Amino acid sequence: MRVGNRSGDGGLGARRGAVALRTAGVVAALTCGAPEGQAQQAELGYAQQSVSVAPGGAFVGGFEVLANGNWALFDGTAVVELSPVDGSLVRTLFTPFQLAFGAFLVNSPDGTKLYFGDSNQSEIWEIDLATLHAAVVLNIKFPFDLAFDPQGRPFVSYALTFFGGSHVALCDFTNDTYDDVVDSPEASGPLVFDAAGDLYVCTPDASSFPPPPDASEVWRVAAADLDAAIGPGSYDVTQATLVGVVDGAYAMSRDEGGDLLLSDANYGTLVELDPATGAERLLATAGPFTAFLYARFVSGTHGVFEPWQPAAGGTLLAVRSDFFSVTEVTRVTPARPELMVDPAAPIPVGAFDFDVTGATPNGVGLLFVCNGSAPELTLDNRSWRAPLFFALDFVGLQVVPLLFDGAGAYHELLDNPGLAGLDLAAQLLTAASAAGPFYGTSEPLLVTLQ
C-alpha cells in the first residue's frame, strides 16, 4: 500500500513530465504554428455539430456530463457547469486555490459528487454538487484518469515520473491511500470499465512526438486479475489481453454495444474500436492543427451508435481545441441517408430532381416506394445489424435498386406526368452490396404528385 504525498517534490522536471502527458495537442499546435483552417468532418454515416464552451486559448483540463444533463468543464481557471444548449455558464462549481493543471473530471457513481484531478498539485478533489463543498480526497503523483468499476471502487492511472512507466491504483478516498494494482512500462493513459468489471487501459507511446501510427496499445485486464492484484504485488499490463492498437488515446469511453470510443489529440481523430475483433472505425476528424481531447458517450433513446442509424442511437461528446481560437464541444451522432426532391412536395407536373446523400460509398440501395403514408416503427434494437426499421402499407409496393457514388450519393431526373394528387411514400435501405451487409435506412419521404 502506497500512501499519497500531499507536498510532492515540486521539481521542474516532475512538472514538465506531468504537463507533457496531457498537453500533446498543445505541443503539436505550437510546433506547427497558428492554425490556418478549422474544418472538421464526420465520416459518412455520422453527423456532427459543435458548441463553443470557452474562449479561444483556454486550456481545458477535464470534461464530464452531469446527472442533470449539463456539462462540467475545467476551463483552466475554474470548474464550471455549462448549458449543453449553447455552452453558456450555469454556475461555477469550484475554483482551485493554487495554479492547477486539470487532468480529469469524473462523476461519482451516484452522480452527487464530481472528482477533479489536478496534476500540478498532485491532488484529487471531491466536489459536492449540492453544497459545492470541495476537499482533497487523495494525494497522488500526476493523476491522469479516474474510473469507477461496477462496484463503485475508484481506480486512478498515474505516473511518478514521465519516463518511468505508470500505474493504475485502487484508491481509498476516505483514508487518502492507494494501492498499485496494474503496472505499465509506458506512460499513463485513459481508463474505462465494462459491465463485467473488466478494465480497459490504453498505454500511449511517449518515445517520440508525434508517436508512430498504431503505437498506442489498448489492453483488457480481467476483473479477476484486477482483484487478485489488490494488496501485495501488482499485475503487469503486458500480461493482459491486447484488444487493439490505435494512433493515440487522450480519452476513452464505451458505447452500449461495448465498443470503445477514443479521442486522439496527436492526430485529431475520434475512433471506434471493437474490442472483440480489434477492428477500428474513424468517426470524425478535428481539422488541421486541431485536437480532440476529452470524450464522453451519452446513451440514446433508441437505435445503436453505428453509421446510418437514427441519431437517437447515442451521442459522442468530445472537446475540440486548437489552443488558439477554438474551444468547443463537438457532438457526433449517427446520421441516416437523406432522400430529397426538388421542387419540394407537392411536386407539380413536369421534371423534378430526386437525390440521395449520405448513403454507403460505392454501395447499393433498395428504394421502397408505395402508395399512401409510411409511419416509422419505434426502433429499440441494441444489436448490430438490423436492416428494416420502417412500416409501409405495401399498397402498390415497388423496390428500386440504386447504385451510389464514392460519396454515397445518387441523382436522377424524374418526370411527373400529372397524377392528380397521388400520395407516395419512399424509404431507402443502404447496403455495401446487393448481398449485404445492410446498414440502415433513411427516414420515410412523403410526397404528393399533383
235 contacts 226 by C-beta, under 8 angstroms: yes
Closest CA to 191 of 153, 156, 143, 230: 156
Q: Sheet holding 350-357: strands in order across?
A: 338-342, 350-357, 410-416
66 contacts 111 by C-beta, under 8 angstroms: yes
Residue 160: phi, psi to the nearest 5?
-75, -35
pLDDT at 107: 98
pLDDT at 391: 62
237-252 pLDDT per residue, tens: 999 999 999 999 999 9
Closest CA to 62 of 89, 16, 100, 113: 100
The residue to which cell 433513446 is assigned: 301
116: part of which helix (H) or strand (E)? Answer: strand 113-118
pLDDT at 22: 53
pLDDT at 224: 98
pLDDT at 412: 96
pLDDT one digit per residue (tens) for the chain, 450 residues: 333 332 333 322 232 233 334 544 444 433 443 344 457 888 999 999 999 999 888 999 999 999 999 999 999 999 999 999 999 999 999 999 999 999 999 999 999 999 999 999 999 999 999 999 999 999 999 999 999 999 999 999 999 987 789 999 999 999 999 999 999 999 999 999 999 999 999 998 877 778 899 999 999 999 999 999 999 999 999 999 999 999 999 999 999 889 999 999 989 999 999 999 999 999 999 999 999 999 999 998 877 898 998 888 899 999 999 989 999 999 999 999 999 999 987 899 999 999 999 999 999 999 988 887 666 665 544 444 444 556 666 667 888 999 999 999 999 999 999 888 888 888 899 999 988 888 888 988 888 998
Structure-block grid coordinates of residue 267: 492526430
| Burial class of 109 by CB neighbour count within 10 A (0 to 12, 13 to 18, 19+) | middle
Structure-block grid coordinates of residue 316: 459522442
373-415 pLDDT per residue, tens: 666 665 544 444 444 556 666 667 888 999 999 999 999 999 9
The residue to which cell 500533446 is assigned: 24
Burial 369-395 (b: 16+ CB within 10 A, else e): bbeeebeeeebeeeeeebeebbebeee
3-state DSSP assignment of residue 12: helix
pLDDT at 148: 98
Domains along the sequence of the chain with CATH: 2-334 (2.120.10.30), 338-449 (2.60.40.10)
Cα separation, 134 vs 115, in Å, equals 9
